[in-house]
Each structure stands twice: as structure tokens, then as C-alpha cells.
Structure 1
């Protein structure tokens, strides 16, 4: 088992500068939506990629990234702007070319292996991001975007800190992918952002902001333990089949007659019985197709985590637990928002169950609760969420207020490894200290690809210790060397 480095500040800031768009913006002010405004009390999003150091001078890397940032900001002018509030209380992004922050840092005593090998995420990773602890409302007088490039002993870490009232995960990773494209010399972006502001989520309601601006709604200084749990494609498929009660189904969702018949082949009774069993199974597949809802891989994984953490928290049976999941509303609205709509277009869906229900039912039961809520979140439900917010405009209450909540963010579908800045794709994804509390979960695609998933799990130290001893959960976890 590799040893962890001491949890101490290891990155040193070499320089800070402001990078301006290479061409002036002509984009008008963009009004914040009912998905943007609640995020004003959240920290800036902090996500980044770890790379093996290329065989070029680090000074060339810094030059390439600074030039690339100036060029990509012309395509994403809100990220070089600032927040403004007009006399009526409406908050906008003004695309005034005020610039983004660019930070050059070094941590030459840290290796790539020091980051990806420890069981728990080392605290020094948090120093690879700018704007630590910054609340999104402060985008009124601070840059909306900061890029920190940290030189490691044998690697490079590029950390992005972006105002959460301006972007969600879909927008953030499209920006990072596009930034990498520009650095590789691509002239025409593969996926240019869309800045339309003509949907139901653009509301006439006004968010009343307290004097001094909103504050985060959770304890930023509570002791926490953070770990990346990796799940291989094979492990996730096994879990999905188990959740869907498909122990005898093949990968096409058909009953695996070969498996059943194989078990009969050593039975000396007769071949006729084997043939009859095979015919019965084949007829069953044709005449009785499955009608039960399909539980997805991610819902299966979420259910597994929900149950394991509930068990680790040692609740009374009657304790109500909550699993929150962020959903993308772009394709749920009618008419649909464009897939590359710039801004937040997410809503948080809560699913409730008592500790007794979570621990006494099988995984399929509460995976179905998640599944029902996701399927039900259609155009009507999105509009209902908007109407409810308009009746009571407020910032999003992020946190674990009763000790029994889990909040799932990010997505394994985000293209987090599609970032080649000119020297190869990343070897890991990591995040900063932002918006972390007991029960905050972030889902990343696994670095091995192919449907693998990494869960960044943040829990109280005692709950994490119990989770790591949970055999039902840990049997699906894959460890990387």
C-alpha cells in the first residue's frame, strides 16, 4: 500500500496575470436563469486534469496555454466577463472583456504517482486550484474564470476554477474540451457554445440578496475524508445485472440458455431433458419479453452507494434518508434547449427513503425509486420546479443538514478525458475543495474508459472508515496501482 504524502501546502505560486480575449466581444449581457441564480451561494466549481509531463520545456507549455486561453475566450466571452446587478435586482453576465486569471505554480516535489496512488485524496491536491473558498456571488468583482497550471516533478496539472452561477458541468467540460482544441491548433470549434436566453428558465422573478452577498450553506471547516472509488466496466455490468435480477441473462438481455444447459450437461439422465429445457427457455424469451423497467448502470451504482453509506452511518430504522441527484434539463424541456446551451440547466431531484427501507429491500427496490424520479422529470416537472422557485426565489441549500443526505453531482458522461492540449490525454481527473461536505459525491468517467466509473466520495472520517469495511460495496471496487 503506497504511503501518502504529508497533508501540507506543496504548490508555490510563481506568477499571476490576467488574460484578455484576443478579439473584442460583441455578445450582449446574458441574464442569469432560475438554474444559475441559486448557485450564487455556491463555491466556484474546481475541476482539473493531471497529465504526464511532455518532452518540451515547461516555459513553452505556459506560453501555449496562455495564448490558447486568449483565443478560446473569444468563443466563450462570458468567461472573460463579470457579474452585474441592475437597478431592478436582475443579475447578468456582462461580456466586457475584463479577462480571466492565469496562474503559474510549481510543486516539483510531487509526482504523478503521489496524486493517483494514495487511497485517500491528499490535501495538497486542493492547492492546484485558484479561488479557494470563493463564493460565486463574488463574480461581481472577481474574474469568472481562473486557470492554474502547476508543474510537477514528472507531470502537469491544469486546474479550472469557474463561477458556478455561470456554468454547470456540461458547459464547463465543453469549454475545457474546446480550450484543448484551440491549443492543438484547431481553427473551427467542434462544439461551439450557444448563448440563447429565450427559454422558460429565464424568469422575471428577482432573487433578493442579503447585504454582503449570500454565504455558503454548509460548514466549510468540518473534518472530511475524501476517496476516489473506481469501478471497472466488468464490475459495473455485474452490478447492473444483479440489480436487474439478470443472473441468467446474457449481455443482450436474453436468458442465457447455454449457462442453464451447461449445468445440465453433466447430468447423465438423458439428452431429451436438456433439449426440452432449451426449447422452454427459447420460447420464454420470445413469448414473455421483459416488461419491468430497466435499471441503468449508474442508478445501480447510486443505489449500492446509498445503501452502503446508510449502513455506515448507523441510523435508527425510522431515520429518513435523502439521495439528491442533479439532472440535465436541456433535453427535458419542450422545446428543448440546445445541447450546448451555455449556463446552468440543471435541477436537483431528491429521493427519500427510511433507513429501514434502504437496508431491508434489495438494490433493485431503491434503484427503482431513483429510476422513477429521473423518468418523471419531464418538461412539466422542469416547469414545476421553475414555478416553485419563482414563488420563493432563494439560493440552493447545499449541504447535509440532518446528517442523512447524499448529493450526487457531475456525471460519468462528461468528456473529462477528451482533453489533449498537444501532448496527450490526461491520466486523472481531480477536484478542489469547493462545495464539499459530508455526503457530497461526484461521478467521473473512469480513466480506463469503456463505461468504467470513478466516484469521488466525501464523508465524515468515521463514516468513510465504515464504508471501507462494507463488503457488499467494496466487492465492486477496483483498485489501481
Structure 2
């Protein structure tokens, strides 16, 4: 059954203070034909898979109703002709798929109802080349403005794919979009029942490393950490989990930037300290990420004026289970190994108690996720299997995905230089969805993609209590 579920000189401003941010939206009406696919290649792994069928874990099966993961990178002009760049990408992708054969496989439901990833001689992925001669990097990375989602959505193939559809659609797909100024965007779309964020970026980094000629760190495909599952998901329709998504209301998306200095101050405030230097909060109980999450939770809830004081709000995040289980599972385990956590509070509680209290609630929820708690969650799922409902979030929920710890910049140099920005696709973007990204400078700063209803976004961008820790995103 299913269960609900940018660059501008800011040197005139102190590092932990925000320069003025415009709250005005950017017109989003852009002809879809401005980005055109000019070729599609079928890419096969360079060698046959040695792993055969790979069963889905309970953590994988939870994701069958989710959209594919959509992430990509903007690069400055490489100086390499596009034909040569495409040839290098395709040949290294073939080698990478030989290391990660599940990405070229497909989902198969066995006669007993179990779902596996089948890696056989039919394994292949699609690689697209698109062009946008009328666009430049500056059209996408606009300072003090909304993300141009009508443009960014065209940078990703397989729009609208749901993970269960991996029974008849590729489990991964790739696209290079060449812009008129020579810059380009490289996107990777992967079935969420096959990977979580840790595995996604391990693959992305391996692909880039192979293009540079670096050695490979092989993934771990073991599936023994929860024992042998006999649970089967049953769906009422032949097409898998039913959706309750309704027509998407208008949304605005911004990338807000937290400098390293601002994060240190925010963490100090969450831990009940004053302003701090770089090293004094290293052992603080509440983490930097939890502090940012609490700050977002408070600010967005304040901006949602329609919420009554006694309304229950939820902040949902995922935690990596690899190091929490005993024995620990490999950090390069390939698949989903995450636990989804929901922390609740009323609007009045958040308003009355503030940052330190909200951050402590988030921290407490994460801190108890040890081996016993995770195994109990797995046992509960085995007794009554379910996957996340496909539906819009309620107007009191925030959910944050991705992680500023993922190596989105440091490991993704394909040989033509470091990426200048990360962007996500639009398939999972609904009111209340956040995505955490490392800052491009690699200095401990963090970017957060924020998707909100237009009126909520306008109030958020006018909230000085929120903006005291925010500066422009690069």
C-alpha cells in the first residue's frame, strides 16, 4: 500500500550579511523550441555485467514512486571542439557503465512479485546532444533573480519519469546542451530506486575520472546488510504506484547562498553561543546543516501567512545509513541506504521558541537513528510494505533533498575545468521543496535551491531575520 508522505560583487557587505535581494519574479515564458535536441546515441557498457539480477532493498523500493534524480553541471567553454568533447564523454560513459552496470539495466518484476535490476546483454542508455544557440551561460546564472525554470527544465531528458517506469524506460539518461557562447550543461538523470545521492555522485565522479584517465573506485553491490527480504509491493494498477499530483500551481525558485562565515555564526546561534571563530564550534552538538535547515524551517513558516497558529508543520530530510549500521556498510555501497525523517512542530511553537529550539528538534530526530532504529524501520516495512505517495506536499511541509557534502564540484572535472554551477531538474519541484548544494568555491559555503509559492517567496525575500545570514549565490 502507499503512504502519504548569480554573480555580483558583494564586497561592500560584511561576509555574514546579505546585500539587498530583489523580491521581484522573473518572467518565465520561454519557447520550448529554444533548446533543440540534434542527436541521440545509444551507449552500451564496454563489457558484460558480472552481477546478474540485483534485488532492490527496502530502501530502494520506497523510492519506486519518486521522480528520477535530475542533476547537472554548467561548464565554461572548454576550448575543445564539441565533436571531440562528445566523443570523449561517450567513450568514458561506456567505460563507466561497465563499472556501474545497473545504470544500463532495467527493472523486472519476477513471478513471485519481487523487483530486481536486470543487467544483461540488452543493457544500454541514451545520450542526447542539444543546442541552444540563442542562449548563453548568463541567461541561466542570473544575479539577484529567480531561476529560469522554463529554460532549465529543457536541459534534462526523460521529463516526468517515475522510478517504477524503469520497467520499460532506461534507468539513466544523459544530455549535453551546447549554448551559443560555447558554455555547456551536462545533465544526468537516474532512477531513484537504483541510486540515492551518495551513489549518484559516486557514479558522476567516476565518469569524470575515467574521462581524465584516473583510477576507479569500484562500487559495492552487496545486498546483505538487511538480510534476505521476502516482502512484495502490490499495486492496484498495472502501471505501478498511483499518483495524486494535481496541476502544479505557479512556483518561484531561487538559489540562496550561505557563506562559510554566515554558517559558522548560524551554527553558533543554534547551539546557544555568541559569534564564533572558524574553529571554536567544531564539536558543537547541532551541525551546520541542521542549523541551516532550522533557519529555513522558521523563515518559510513565517512567510506562509495562511497557516494557523495551531497548524502542524513538518520538516522532512534524509539521513545516510551507511555509517549508522553495525557493522557499517561500505561508503561506496551502490543503491539507496537512506532513512527519511519527519520532524514536526506547530506554527506557534516555532514562532515562540526560535532557532535553537527548532535546530535541537531536528538534531534529536537524527541523533537516534542508530543501528537499532534503522533495523526496526526495516522490520516494520517488511511487515507492511509501502512506498512514498506521489502527491503534492501540504502547505505546511518542507522537504530538503541532496547534501552540501556531495562532491558536486571537486570530483566532476572531466578534463576541461571545474563546473561553475549545479542545477536540478524540475520534476520533483513543488511548493516546499529545497535542495542543498555545496558552494562552488569549495570553502564550506552552501547553496540552497528553494521552491515556493510566489507570495511565500516574496515574503521570504523580504524577511530581514532570514536575510541576515544570506548572501547572493554565485
Matches of 1:41 and 1:91 in 2, distance apart? 14
Matches of 1:153 and 1:84 in 2, distance apart? 41
What is the CA-CA distance between 1:298 and the residue it aligns to? 1.0
- Residues 204-219 of structure 1: matches in 2 within 5 Å? 204-211=230-237, 212-219=239-246
Q: Is the 8 A contact 2:257 2:447 kept in 1?
A: yes
Matches of 1:202 and 1:477 in 2, distance apart? 47
**Structure-2 change in CA distance of 1:147 and 1:252 (3 Å):** closer
Q: How high is the TM-score relative to the length of structure 1?
A: 0.88
What is the CA-CA distance between 1:461 and the residue it aligns to? 1.4
Matches of 1:445 and 1:339 in 2, distance apart? 19
Q: Does 1:176 align with 2:204?
A: yes
Match of 2:9 in 1: none
Q: Does 1:56 align with 2:99?
A: no
Match of 1:7 in 2: 30
Matches of 1:204 and 1:174 in 2, distance apart? 29
Deviations 1:49-74 (A, max 9, x none): 11001111111111111111111110
Match of 2:353 in 1: 361
Q: Is the 8 A contact 1:400 1:439 kept in 2?
A: no
Q: Is the 8 A contact 2:265 2:276 kept in 1?
A: no
Q: What is the aligned counterpart of 1:83 among 107, 110, 114?
A: 107
- Residues 134-145 of structure 1: matches in 2 within 5 Å? 134-145=161-172
- Residues 222-237 of structure 1: matches in 2 within 5 Å? 222-237=249-264
Match of 1:244 in 2: 271
What is the CA-CA distance between 1:8 and the residue it aligns to? 3.2
Q: SS in structure 2 opposite 1:465?
A: helix
Q: Is the 8 A contact 1:220 1:436 kept in 2?
A: no
Q: Does 1:302 align with 2:293?
A: yes
Match of 1:151 in 2: 178
Q: SS in structure 2 opposite 1:226?
A: strand
Matches of 1:381 and 1:233 in 2, distance apart? 33
Deviations 1:250-271 (A, max 9, x none): 44439xxxxxxxxxxxxxxxxx
Deviations 1:261-289 (A, max 9, x none): xxxxxxxxxxxxxxxxxxxxxxxxxxxxx
**Cα RMSD between the aligned structures?**
1.9
What is the CA-CA distance between 1:411 and the residue it aligns to? 0.4
- Residues 68-217 of structure 1: matches in 2 within 5 Å? 68-97=92-121, 98-118=123-143, 119-122=145-148, 123-154=150-181, 155-186=183-214, 188-189=215-216, 191-200=217-226, 203-211=229-237, 212-217=239-244
Match of 1:259 in 2: none
Match of 1:452 in 2: 445
Matches of 2:43 and 2:275 in 1, distance apart? 58
Q: Is the 8 A contact 1:325 1:348 kept in 2?
A: yes
What is the CA-CA distance between 1:220 and the residue it aligns to? 5.7
Q: Which has the higher contact order (CA 8 A, sep 6+)?
A: 2
Q: Is the 8 A contact 1:47 1:431 kept in 2?
A: yes
Matches of 2:273 and 2:82 in 1, distance apart? 52
Matches of 2:212 and 2:279 in 1, distance apart? 40
Q: What is the aligned counterpart of 2:342 among 346, 350, 359?
A: 350
Number of residue pairs the alignment of both structures matches: 443
Whose radius of gyration is greater, 1 or 2?
Answer: 1
Q: Is the 8 A contact 2:244 2:392 kept in 1?
A: no
Q: SS in structure 2 opposite 1:173?
A: helix
Q: Is the 8 A contact 1:32 1:202 kept in 2?
A: no
Match of 1:283 in 2: none
Match of 2:17 in 1: none
**Structure-2 change in CA distance of 1:410 and 1:476 (3 Å):** same
Q: Is the 8 A contact 1:111 1:153 kept in 2?
A: yes
Q: What is the aligned counterpart of 1:433 among 416, 426, 437?
A: 426
Q: Is the 8 A contact 2:52 2:120 kept in 1?
A: no
Gaps of 5+ in 1: 255-289
- Between 1:240-249 and 1:379-388, the stretch displaced more is 240-249
Matches of 1:407 and 1:400 in 2, distance apart? 11
What is the CA-CA distance between 1:297 and the residue it aligns to? 1.0
Q: Is the 8 A contact 1:34 1:202 kept in 2?
A: no
Q: SS in structure 2 opposite 1:448?
A: coil
Matches of 1:251 and 1:137 in 2, distance apart? 45
**Structure-2 change in CA distance of 1:65 and 1:251 (3 Å):** closer
Matches of 1:87 and 1:467 in 2, distance apart? 51
**Structure-2 change in CA distance of 1:201 and 1:216 (3 Å):** farther
Matches of 2:466 and 2:100 in 1, distance apart? 41
